[in-house]
Amino acid sequence: MNDRVEAADEARRNFLKTGLGAGAVVAGAAVMSGSANAAPLQAASIGRSGLKQPPLPWKDSALEPVISAKTIELHYGKHHAGYFNTLAGLVKDTPLADASLEEIILATADDDARKSLFNNAGQAWNHNFYWNSLTPEKTAPGGRLLEAINRDFGSVDALKAELAKTTIAQFGSGWGWLVSDGGKLKVMSTSNADVPFTKGMKPLLTVDVWEHAYYVDWQNRRPDHVQAVVKDHLDWGFAGRNFSA
Ligand SMILES: [Fe+2]
């Protein structure tokens, strides 16, 4: 076993150990239904995300005015769909054709020879997770997640401030994340298509700060966009289910 395969296997073990296979992959639940009318994701019980783009969990205008229907039309309908379409072409007639998104990501992480596979699978997965991190409803952390937030950040407001600050500060394209590192909550950012679970972190929430996520509505005002999303549109129920899974 070479180092790369060994590293991928180690990441896979961490992935399963952290429960991500049963939790954060909730973002792929609707993939399995294959129906444009599938119910929004509820249960944290799906372990494999399919290679078809799942439906959005809300109407494309649901997050206005923070995220417009026009942005969703482009972001979901063009960018996210494009990652799935490109991925389908890359895995066609290969041993990965029947793999899950998570398996492709873990198999190709840090593999320069398969960077395109990793990037498209990572972006497909990250956006699945992103749509489910957002909600038009007013939500708040509760239960075990709230206890952990108070323990690790002092308060929900302190966590939100830290998440916004870290996300805004991501240099170039990438993602801000709330993750669980073996039960301890952390805020982090990743570049481009990178995914926290390849490092053994369990994602709980994410905010997209690729320019396509906000430029139509906010132009260069990334800080205003991120603060508005963190203030009003994060789905803390989704985060709590991921944390408990
Ligand atoms: Fe995006």
* Tens of pLDDT, residues 53-75: 999 999 999 999 999 999 999 99
Contact status, residue 190 vs residue 196, Cβ threshold 8 Å: yes
Residue 118 to residue 124: CA distance in whole angstroms: 10
The ranges of the chain annotated as CATH 1.10.287.990 are 3-53+66-133
What pLDDT does residue 48 have?
A: 79
Q: Cα(123) to centroid of ligand 1, in Å?
A: 7
The reply to whether CATH 3.40.50.720 applies to domain 3-53+66-133 is: no
Separation of CA 151 and ligand 1 centre (Å): 31
CATH 3.55.40.20 segments of the chain: 143-244
> From the CA of 84, how far away is ligand 1's center (Å)?
13
* Percent of all residues in the chain with a pLDDT value above 70, rounded to a whole number: 81
Kindly give the distance from the C-alpha atom of residue 172 to the centroid of ligand 1, in angstroms, as a whole number: 12
From the list 180, 195, 187, the residue with the least C-alpha distance to 110 is 195
Q: How far is the CA of 229 from the centre of ligand 1 (A)?
A: 14
Find out whether 235 and 58 touch, Cβ atoms under 8 Å: no
- The rounded Å distance from CA 1 to ligand 1 centre is 35
How close is the Cα of 235 to the center of ligand 1, in Å? Answer: 17
Which DSSP symbol is given to 12?
Answer: H
CA of 7 to the centre of ligand 1 (A): 27
141, pLDDT greater than 50: yes
CATH architecture of 143-244: 3-Layer(bab) Sandwich (3.55)
**Is residue 209 within 8 Å of residue 173, measured between CB atoms?**
yes
The model's pLDDT over 37-53, given as tens digits with 9 standing for 90+, comes to: 222 222 222 357 889 99
